[in-house]
A and B are shown apart, each in its own frame.
Chain A
């Protein structure tokens, strides 16, 4: 078989993944109407990530791809991680709002 030929995926697998995605979408919709407090975003992002993983692995054939293609995907995810991590580094380490409104001497004395 030539190296670059496409891996053939059975309709059964495609259908199973499709059903999983539909379930994921339903879960997202259901979760959007529940209040999990601080876990609202975590749950929504968790379901979305799981769905995206299924799409990449099966619909985009990453599961059957050569190493170089997988490396490209890993690099893209790594770059996304850089963006998220360094952006969140700002949000997570900001001083309390008071520190920018109250003169430093007063703030530190408190």
Chain B
């Protein structure tokens, strides 16, 4: 009942005109208002920051090969983990799926020609670049050693590193995020094609709608909080410094009010990607569409009520901690709804093991581990033991890398034929997915054990008894790096040498697969009319699926 390959052997020709060849020259890219080209601008930019953050991560892992530290001084080590966090979180993970895949796909998925505000869309990229330049300036002129969390009064008073440009860079970059979120909300509300009702929207759209709400409602808070920390540093105004009448815990409250929901900015879009991939490669309608859609909104809303679980060890109110612990448990419910529904979709599916599916399955497993260990940290008593240890590092890397990055790379593989019009090497792509999965687990699973044994995070040295697990983690990181470099290489290769994909290579049910690959600048020659339900494989004869390749209808067996 399962198959191993879905890509068609039929040969196609590239469309005569599409968004990639509609105009030429650097100017046509830098002044474009086409959402697809802006998505590619973001793709190049976030990949650059992923590479920057990756270099810092590599240096961290090499340093931790020996108990006393193998590579850099303690001060430099502080800078490495800080700059790794800032580059990866603010300049890669947060914009990755929304700004690249969201920008490329949202108008196509709802049958629109572009986003609601195309110029604002381009502006958001320029703002991102300006913010990124500030961050790079900070990295290259003394670096940054406060931790990506910028806790005060270290960041506002005591740190001797380049905090001010970094804080300004993140402040500026926040506007890019807000503009993207605003654009998506208005686009989804106002530009849906005839027949594309709310409950016919792809789940990728629902998850991006929820993500956009967080972007618009949360980002201003972190922007102003970091600006206040910057003002305290530059002008010595007492917001957070106790010596000047400020309150350092207030900074943590305000910072995490955004930065915890920011985790959902990273993972919700990845969940949207997985919700698209699973039905396509199981050849079944998704199980419980409305519950999966509603759970995205529930995660966005409840995600705003849990932030103070990062503050359990600060001396905050015990009653308040109790409430935040309970609320943190609550957010597991909509997350579990998604995992159960994806699993139920797989049940008796006609499953094929293409690279996107491998990434999606990897996401489910790794996100589940990351989510469940999050409950450990939400538990007040247990958190006291594992707070600020490598257990926390392992937990959030399972969510952010095992979840968000797996979703991003899975999504890139899934929609690459649409983006480039070409197909990548299948065997190599499956090999890369498996390499990435194994490398990831070897890197981060030992860190759960290290943390539980008591190894604190952000220390440049450790007791000798922790060395074996650290060496395992570093070995895993080198495999993980290979898992990232391979797709970068063969996806780039495929743009020139890959086989032509055709409009709907998997095939999938979404509206984006109804247009040519790559799509024309205006996406659809004629505005499409939607008269089908989402993921309805059994009732889509236009996909050309034979009964043998479809999942059996319930009751037939």
**B308 near A75: Cβ-Cβ < 8 Å:** no
B319: chain A residues at CB < 8 Å are 89, 93
Partner of A79, one of B217, B253, B317, B318: B217
Partner of B320, one of A79, A82, A93: A93
Total count of chain A residues near the partner, CB < 8 A: 15
* Interface residue B250 (Cβ < 8 Å from any Cβ of A): yes
**B305 near A86: Cβ-Cβ < 8 Å:** yes
Interface residues of A in 57-107 (CB under 8 A from B): 75-76, 79, 82-83, 86-87, 89-95, 100
Number of CB contacts from chain A to chain B under 8 A: 43
B307: chain A residues at CB < 8 Å are 86
* Interface residue B323 (Cβ < 8 Å from any Cβ of A): yes
A94: chain B residues at CB < 8 Å are 315-317, 320
* Interface residue B298 (Cβ < 8 Å from any Cβ of A): no
A86: chain B residues at CB < 8 Å are 305, 307-308, 320, 323-324
**A90 near B304: Cβ-Cβ < 8 Å:** no
Total count of chain B residues near the partner, CB < 8 A: 20
B70: chain A residues at CB < 8 Å are none
Known A86-B305, A89-B320; judge A76-B315 contact (CB<8 A): no
**B320 near A95: Cβ-Cβ < 8 Å:** no
Known A76-B217, A90-B317, A91-B317; judge A82-B308 contact (CB<8 A): no
Partner of B323, one of A82, A87, A89, A91: A89
> What is the interface of chain B mostly: helix, strand, loop, or mixed?
helix
Query: Complex: how many Å from CA A98 to CA B191?
Result: 59
* Interface residue B257 (Cβ < 8 Å from any Cβ of A): yes
Interface membership of chain B positions 160-189, coded 1 if the CB is closer than 8 angstroms to chain A and 0 otherwise: 000000000000000000000000000000
**B320 near A100: Cβ-Cβ < 8 Å:** no
A76: chain B residues at CB < 8 Å are 217
Chain B residue with the shortest CB-CB distance to A91: B317
Chain B residue with the shortest CB-CB distance to A78: B217
Query: Complex: how many Å from CA A87 to CA B57?
Result: 34
Query: Complex: how many Å from CA A91 to CA B316?
Result: 8
* Interface residue B14 (Cβ < 8 Å from any Cβ of A): no
Chain B residue with the shortest CB-CB distance to A92: B317
Min C-beta distance of A44 to chain B, whole Å:
15
Query: Complex: how many Å from CA A82 to CA B327?
Result: 13
A87: chain B residues at CB < 8 Å are 250, 253-254, 257
Query: Complex: how many Å from CA A87 to CA B252?
Result: 10
Interface residues of B in 242-264 (CB under 8 A from A): 249-250, 253-254, 257
Query: Complex: how many Å from CA A100 to CA B316?
Result: 11
* Interface residue B330 (Cβ < 8 Å from any Cβ of A): no
Min C-beta distance of B304 to chain A, whole Å:
6
A79: chain B residues at CB < 8 Å are 217, 304
Query: Complex: how many Å from CA A91 to CA B221?
Result: 19
User: Which has the most chain A C-beta neighbours within 10 Å: B316, B318, B320, B323?
Assistant: B320
Min C-beta distance of B361 to chain A, whole Å:
36
**B217 near A95: Cβ-Cβ < 8 Å:** no
B320: chain A residues at CB < 8 Å are 86, 89-90, 93-94
Query: Complex: how many Å from CA A26 to CA B323?
Result: 41
A90: chain B residues at CB < 8 Å are 249, 253, 308, 311, 316-317, 320
Chain A residue with the shortest CB-CB distance to B308: A90
Query: Complex: how many Å from CA A93 to CA B249?
Result: 14
Min C-beta distance of A65 to chain B, whole Å:
15
Interface residues of B in 321-379 (CB under 8 A from A): 323-324
Known: A90-B311, A93-B319. 17 other contacts (CB 8 A): A76-B217, A79-B217, A82-B305, A83-B221, A83-B254, A86-B305, A86-B307, A86-B308, A87-B253, A89-B317, A89-B319, A90-B308, A90-B320, A93-B317, A93-B320, A95-B317, A100-B315
A-to-B contact residues, CB < 8 Å: 75-76, 79, 82-83, 86-87, 89-95, 100
Listed by A's residue number, 6 A-B pairs whose Cβ atoms lie within 8 Å are A86-B305, A86-B323, A89-B317, A89-B320, A90-B316, A94-B316
